[in-house]
Structures are given as C-alpha cells and as structure tokens.
Amino acid sequence: MSLRQLLLRLPCYLGASGPRRGPLDTIASVVSWRGQSSRSPAHWNQVVSEAEKIVGYPTSFMSLRCLLSDELSNIAMQVRKLVGTQHPLLTTARGLVHDSQNNLQLRGLVVLLISKAAGPSSVNASCQSYDMVSGIYSCQRSLAEITELIHTALLVHRGIVNLDELQSSDGPLKDMQFGNKIAILSGDFLLANACNGLALLQNTKVVELLASALMDLVQGVYHENSNSAKENHITDDIGILTWKEQTFLSHGALLAKSCQAAMELAKHDAEVQDMAFQYGKHMAMSHKINSDLQPFIKEKTSDSLTFNLNSAPVVLHQEFLGRDLWIKQIREAQRKGRLDYAKLRETIKAGKGVTSAIDLCRYHGNKALEALESFPPSEARTALENIVFAVTRFS
C-alpha cells in the first residue's frame, strides 16, 4: 500500500509584595467549571463520529487527492525498505493509520466545525458566490486540508533521528541515515503541497496567518528539543507560564490561527475572528494537557511507560515543590544512571501537580466555551462544546 493510500485511509482509523501565591491560586479563583452537558457523548470516539456527520464528510482528508500527486507513491516504495529497522518514521506511519484516539483529524475537524458554526458573514456578502456544502465554503474545506497537511508534515519531520546520539541497540547507521532522508523528503513534500494549496486560496491574510503558525511550530519544537536533551536526567527550571508560552507555539498556534483564517475566508469581522482564535488556542491547550495527564491518570499503566519531564503535571509538581526538592526526587528515582519512571510517577501523583494540571485543563476548556458564546446556537457549536467536554472529562 502506498503512503498516499495510507493517508487517504486515515479517516477510517482515525509581581506584588506579600505572601507567595501558588501557580494556580488565580486560576482557582476564577474557574467555574460547567460540568458535563447532558447532551455531551461519553466517549471521545463518539464525539468525533457525531461531529463528522455535521460537517458532511468523515474528515477533510477525504479530499487529499486534490493536493497530493502520484509522486508520493514513489516515496512509499522507499518507506517499505525501512520495514524491519528501528527508525521512528515507521512508528509515525503506523500512528497515522491506526489513530485509535482520533487525535490526528482533530485540527481539520475543528476548522470545519467552527466554519459551519459561524456561517456566512452577515455584513459582507462578497463570498456568497463561493461553493458551499453542508454550510461550509469550499475554500474553508481546503483550509482544513492544509491544516492537517502541515500537522502531518510536522509529525513526519519529528521522526528524524539525531545520528550523533545513536546507540548500538538502535540498529545499523545506514538504516537511520536512509530513514532520515525519507522523513525529510516526505515531510517536505507535504509542506510543499500545503503551500501550493495556500496560494490557490488567493488570500494574503490567510497565507500570512498559516505562515506565522508554521514559524511558531518550528520555534516551539526547537524549545522542546532543547529541553528534552536533559530529559533522562534533570529538566530545565521552567515555570508554568513559560511552559504555556512554549506549548502554544508547538501545539496551539496552528489550530488557533487556522480557526481565525477560516473566519477570514468567510469575511467575518475582527471580533468573530478573535473568538475563533481564542477557541482554537484554548481547545489545543486543553487537549495537550489532557495528553500530558494520561500517564498519571490511567488505571493500568506499565512500569516501563515513560513520560515527558517537561509535561504539564511535572512542571506544576516542580513549581509547587521547589527546584531543590525536585532535583532530589529525580536523583532518588535514578538506578544505575537510568531514571525509574514508575517510581517517579508515583512520587508526582502523591503531590499537587496532577490535580493542578486537571484544574488547568478545565480552565482552558472553560475559556474555549466562553469563546463560543458569540456564535449562534447550532449543531456545529454543540459539537465544538462536546469536544471540550470530552477533552476535560476525567472520571
């Protein structure tokens, strides 16, 4: 099966003086969580399935053939040569196909939903001649495809191996070198098609928004890589505010600016564009925190399961605990130079980091819901609300 076919099958799988305040004291004073809506589905897969019906297509990837050419099948033939090696590009490819959590299609789906929730502009009728299917302009569907292309390209590029850090257990050097070439080539091909699709939209502001989102992604990934260099030992001393800034760049900017761009394509005013941006931003932040929490809240967790030492629960744990005690806990969890993640996970769960991360996740979820209040009631708006409820549901 070609890589093109794999991508097309994705939807089927898919400070003031005074006493020191805690990092979430202010948040706790303003959060008023709205709880579970009686209309909100119990499971994430059901939320995605119902949302897909509203926008008229299982996912925007159904139209990817408009952006991709048969050239990608040649890359797929080369990817098959990596079978049997340990190059992470294979793991990325498997993740693209077997997306059991339906996370990969989230960005494009949200862009389509918010496009339908906003509808056409009531003050500018210049785009009413555009093709519209299920309440969504064709250019907005193209934008959703472009958003997913950029995100997929980033995932592929993240599969590039640092050859300077290879160990004998990673396999032959020639396999890693070949895998890196394929990852760079295929990722660049997706980005090139995304840029071509942007040009076809013929909207300079949308091009500017998506270009700045891509710049934010690169900057955010750079920060992540600079921190993860010490991940198995002692992490950088970053607070939750710095974490939020970096996370917005690497995980929030693309969705936020894509939502804003969708409003621009429908000629909505600046206020509506800002509300769409705020929803995308806080939805993405909430989704990322939920992902960071999974190793700490799953009922059954393998002792060998690792987690990012710069994830939200860990950063909050360190901020509550203090730098010196955090370093001590890291050292106590080390065995023969390797970190015992199971022991460290239990230590973090015993502190305030996990519960504070849940509060922070719900805070961003609440902010996303507030942004939706400016949109008229509709099935699409309800679907956007249900996505927030599902992401912030901890039971």
Q: What is the pLDDT of residue 167?
A: 66
28 located within any domain: no
Q: Which long-range contacts (CB under 8 A, 24 or more apart) does 131-137 make?
A: 133/56, 134/54, 134/55, 134/56, 134/57, 135/380, 136/55, 136/56, 136/112, 137/265, 137/266
Which residue in the block uniquely carries the two structure tokens 């909207």? 203
Instruction: Tally the domains of the chain.
Output: 1
- Residue 229 is given by DSSP the state T
pLDDT in tens, the chain (395 residues): 433 343 444 333 333 333 333 433 333 333 444 443 333 334 777 888 888 888 876 544 434 444 455 555 666 666 666 666 666 666 666 665 544 454 557 888 999 999 999 988 876 665 655 677 888 998 999 999 899 889 888 888 887 777 776 666 666 777 778 878 878 888 888 888 889 999 999 999 999 999 999 999 989 888 776 655 544 445 667 889 999 999 999 999 999 999 999 999 999 999 999 999 999 999 999 999 999 998 898 876 665 577 888 889 999 999 998 888 888 888 888 876 678 888 888 889 988 999 999 999 999 999 999 999 999 999 999 999 999 999 998 86
pTM recorded for the entire structure: 0.80
Compute CA distances 81 → 76, 276, 301, whole Å: 9, 43, 33
198 located within any domain: yes
371 located within any domain: yes
Q: Which domain holds residue 353?
A: 44-392
Q: What's the CATH code of the domain at 90? A: 1.10.600.10
Q: What share of the chain is helix, strand, coil (3-state, %, to 5)?
A: 65, 0, 30
24 located within any domain: no
30 located within any domain: no
Q: What is the pLDDT of residue 357?
A: 95
131 located within any domain: yes
Token pair recorded at residue 230: 């010490």
Q: What is the pLDDT of residues 308-358, one digit of tens each?
A: 888 899 999 999 988 888 888 888 888 766 788 888 888 899 889 999 999
Contacts of 116 (CB under 8 A, 6+ apart): 54, 55, 134, 135, 136, 378, 380
204 located within any domain: yes
Residue 9: CA count within 13 A, CB half-sphere: 13
242 located within any domain: yes
